[in-house]
Each structure stands twice: as C-alpha cells, then as structure tokens.
Chains A and B, each alone.
Chain A
Amino acid sequence: MIKKLTLLFFMIISIGIISADIYISGFNQADFIHRTAEDSLKNYFENELGVIVDYNNLSFGITFNAYLPKYEDDAPLAELRSRDLSYEWNERYLTYNGDNIGLKVGTLSESFGTGMTFRAYEDEDVDHDNRLEGAMTSFQYDRFKTKAIYGVTANKNNPDNNDSFAGAEFSMSHDYLTWGGSALQIREMVTATKYSDRQVFSSNLNLFFDFMDIYGEYAYSELETTEMTYGHGIYANSNIYLGDFTLSGFYKKFKNFNYDLNDLPTLNHADDVLDDYQEIGLDEEGAMGEITWDNSFAKLFTSYAEAWSSDYNYRLANGFIETSKQIGNNLLKVSYEHFEREDRDGGHWSKEVTPTASIDIPLDNSFSIYLKGDYTMIEEQHNFDSTREYIEPLLQTDFMYKNYAISFLTEAQAEDLSSLSDAEFWFGTTFKTEIMDNTSLNLFAGKQKGGKVCQNGTCKEVKPFEGIKVEITTKF
C-alpha cells in the first residue's frame, strides 16, 4: 500500500512538472442544421473537434470532423440517409518552431509572397480546399529567410489521385527594400494515365519609403504536356502618401498562368473575376486606381478598375465611391458602385448599379443600432437574348445589447419597385450571444441569398441557405 501511494505521489509530482510546459488547447463546434428546401434530407448534425498540444517549441494539432450525414448543398437526396455517420481528419500536423529553424509535417496551408505563384488553403465558406499533405522546412538568419515545401493535394477532376508540388522561396530584407524569388514544380494529373509538369520561377521587389512604396512581382511558367506552353504573370502596386491623401495604383497581366495552386489578384473593388466561365489567369490584363482622403471632417474613398482579355472579348469595369461622416456618436456612410462585365462572343453582358446608405447609432455604451439599405439595379443579357432589367433591394437592421446581438436581413428581387409584392424575398435573422465563458451560441433562421455579409459587428462569407442553423462553439 505504501509502495503504491509513494508511486502515485511521485507520478503526480513528475507529471505536474512535465505538464507545466505542456499546454492543451482546442475547441469543439457543434452544428445542427435544419434545411427546409424540398429536395433535402432536412436534418443534419456536424461536430468539429480540434485539439492542439504545445510542448516548448513543439506543437501537435488535429481536427476531427463527424457528420450525420455530411451536409452538401448539391448532394442528391437518394444518396442521403439520416443514419449515415461519416468522419474525417480535417487537419493533422506536427511542428517545430525554433528561433531560426522551423519544421512542419502534415496538413499545410502555405503561400509564397502575394499568392500569385503559390497558395494552398482551405476556405469552407466557398468549398475550396487545395491544402497540401506534406512537409515544410524554413530557415531564417538575420535578414535572410527561406522555406521549402513538398506535398500532394487531391486532383480537382479526379480526387482519388494526387497532384504533387515541390517549391522553395527566399527573401532578403534591407532598410528600404525587400527582394526575393521562388521556384516551383507541379505535377498534375491530366488524364488517368497522363501527367503534366509545370515549372514556375518568380522574383519580387518591394521598395518602401515614408511617402511611397512600390511592389513588383514577375513570374515565368513552362507547362509540358504534349507540347510546351509558356506563360507569365505580372503584378505591381504603388501607394503614394500625401498628407490626408493616399493614391494607389495596381496593374496585373496573366497569360497561360492558370493553375490550381495559385491565387491571383482580381484587382477590382467588387473582388470579382473577369468572367465566371473562363479560367482565371488564362488571358487577362487589368489596372486599378484608388484615392483615399481621410480627414477629421469626413472620409472619402474612390476606386476605378478595368480588366480585359488580349482580344478584348472579355471586359470588366468597376467603379466605387464611398464617403463617411461622423456626426456626434453616429457614423453615416453613403456609397455608389458600378459593375459591368461583357463576354462579346458569348453574347453575355451585365451591369449592376448599387447606391448604399448606412448609419451606425450607438445609443449608449451597451446598446447600439445599425441600419443599412442597398438598392441594386441590374441589367443583363445572356446568349444575345433581349436585355432583362430587375432590382435587388436590401434592408439590414442590427441591434446589439451587452452580450446579445440580433440582426435582421431582408433581400428581394423584383422587376421594379411597383412589382415588389410579386418579388422573391430572402429574410433571415441571426442571433449571437455568449452562453458561458468561452462558449458562444450562433443561431440563424430564415433564408439567405449568400455572399459576404457583415452582421452583428462581424463579417463573413455565407452560402445560399434556407432553414435553421444552430452553432455552439466552445474553446478550451
């Protein structure tokens, strides 16, 4: 008995000492989804558990997801059964982070520079996941930094097979400039028996002074399939700071620079692509200019962008102007956006004009109201058909009281104002509160159109949805 107690005592002491350096943290997110669409299974349950164990410079993390069944917008009803439990390891990694050396093995979310040549990431909101499973090492000495990555990711057309990636990047920083370069090789499955090899080499230069900064990046690509295809990418930006004014200019040009493991800049305020059906980076050029005036009296921001393909078949124009003024504690904002796109050969053209007004009214320290109104006028033509005109008005009201926040968002689509009674409506309510320390509750009920929404003081991208979503997140 004494032996056992002594053993237990020493065990508690030694584990207590070891655990002083071990930190276990994580989260659990439980989602209940009730979808009201007719061709839906209605009820779904998801649970995501993430655990991170840190011990000095070492870190181990896992994220485990369980679905009952997995919620997918476009899953055929015949294949969905409420008892189908599925699970997956969404993330597993082991890292070592020293002062000069870093190592990581497992799931990698990484990018080189601005992401123009390489970016592997997951975005659940838009169902994007091209993260790599592999290994990465980084090294830093004084102003020199480098990292090298090798990994594989599922082929987008044939997810049972992998594409492979190997790449390295370096950068040097000085007092007024940084410069660097990268090289990468991608082996991508083209058909069941055939792979293509792509090599990309890039260099970048960044100059920064008090009154201005300049950034330029050039990349050259060689794609070997049955024949060699050469491509290139250029991205440049300069900002000039003149007192209350900031002038910004951006330029891009991409030719045969379309592959799955990069993320090219859109260069327009709407952050939209040149064409929804043409591969991004295949053939496009564009420029954007912005002026910001930030004064204690008011703020003004204006942006204009154009993009085009080399034969001018595809064209895009986007203008935006916004002014905001603080009146007492209230913040008033008014903006106007014009967005136009054309695919001349396909006979597609669309124009959207959106005036917006919003006001943020903090009534006292614990209670505030936010009101926003949009009125989008759309004209569009498809396949050379006659032009269709319609409107998409939006009204948003947010109330925040202490730890409670509730938002009402109403969107509609109608031929014009007089036919609003026949319009299609999206009405959704979002409620958010803290139910315990480190535990939050998010509730959505209604119908949402999708897109980027800022509600209850936070912003995120949402997918089209109709029904009820309850989300309880606990951090530990």
Chain B
Amino acid sequence: MKLNRIIIIGLMLLLTFSLMAEKKFTDFKLENEKGESFQLKDFTGKSLIVVDFWASYCDPCKKALPHMDELNLKNDSVEVIAINIDNPRLKRKAMAYIKSHKYTFTTLYDSDAKVADKMRVTEIPYTFLLDNEGNILFEFSSGKADSHEVLAAEIAKALKANPQEEVKE
C-alpha cells in the first residue's frame, strides 16, 4: 500500500515537473535536397531559430516564403528553417520551387510528416520561434496577412528579453 502511494506521488511529481518544463522542439533528423542530414543542433549558431512548415500545394505558405527569406537575410540573430511536408511523390516539385526562387534559408524535407506529426502541425503554414536551445518561445498558424509582422514582433520581444544572449559558435 505504501509502495503504491509512493509510486503514485512519484508519477504525479514527474508529470508536474515535466509539464512545467519549457516546451521543446523535437530534435529532428531531416535531409536537404542534396541528401545531407541535419539535426536541430546544427542550427543553434544564432540566438533564435524560426521553423516554418509549408507545402507546394499551399498558396498561403508560398506567399509567406519571401518574408522568411527576408528575415533570414536581414536579421543576423535569426536562422530560418523551412520544413516542407509535401508527400514523397511531390517532393521533387517542392525542391524545384525552392531552387527556382533562390531562397537562402535551409529547406528540409519531412515527406513522411514525422516532425509535423510530432509537433502536431495540422494546418499549414505553421511557424515556430525557438531559442538556440530548441525551447519553443512562440508558435502560430501563420497564413494571415499580418503574420510576418506578428513574427517580427515576437522576434523583437525575444531579443529584447535576452539582449545579452550569447551566440553559440
């Protein structure tokens, strides 16, 4: 009886502590168009990471990509990763789309939607803002007209909250 109580209390404490912890983005392993594998820890060189989920059939997603590119080019503190969730048979179209637009951000392909499913991305475009340890600072459905401005404001807020944040080399 005592042991049961201890186990129950232990499990409840574990659950409480775990739920109180900051929410983390999953440590994925995905490939780019050249078959090179990337993990989340490969992108922790800047203060903030923006992860944007998109697909080639989604017009609102494609509309948001130039803003992502601008963010990647103009903000030294931000690394943008675009995760494409087109199914495997449409992956080649997505690759051509990115290459033809000469986007500078890193595009990774999650054709089996493993990362999208784990992060519960049920509609696209969907964007996460992470700190350089992978903690989720902000997430939102980013297909609205002012989405890039909402994201810019959250980035400014995050940078202001941690102005001295050391950038990892």
Contact = CB atoms under 8 A, between A and B. Distances in A.
A264 B99 CA distance: 24
Interface in B94-151: 95-96, 99-101, 111-114, 117-118, 120, 122-125, 141, 143-147, 149
Contacts of A162: none
Interface string A343-372: 000000000000000001010011110000
Residue from B6, B35, B143 whose CB has the most chain A CB atoms within 10 Å = B35
Contacts of A8: 9
A331 B96 contact: no
Interface in A256-284: 263-266
A263 B14 contact: no
Given A50-B120, A178-B35, A460-B123, A22 B14 contact: yes
- 8 smallest CB-CB distances across A and B, nearest first, come from A457-B143, A115-B88, A19-B17, A368-B145, A173-B35, A362-B145, A246-B100, A458-B123
A426 interface: no
Interface in B62-104: 63, 87-89, 91-93, 95-96, 99-101
Nearest to A119: B88
A476 B145 contact: no
A19 B114 CA distance: 24
Contacts of B165: none
A250 B95 CA distance: 14
A11 B57 contact: no
Interface residues of B, number: 57
12 contacts: A54-B24, A54-B26, A61-B118, A111-B111, A173-B35, A213-B95, A241-B100, A360-B145, A400-B145, A458-B123, A458-B124, A459-B55
A454 B17 contact: no
B14 A18 contact: yes
Interface of A: 8, 11-12, 15-16, 18-20, 22-27, 50, 52-54, 59, 61, 97, 99, 102, 109-111, 113-116, 119, 121, 140, 143, 145, 171, 173, 178, 206, 208, 213, 215, 237, 239, 241, 246, 248, 250, 263-266, 292, 294, 331, 360, 362, 365-368, 400, 405, 440, 452, 454, 456-460, 473, 475-476
B13 interface: yes
A114 B92 contact: yes
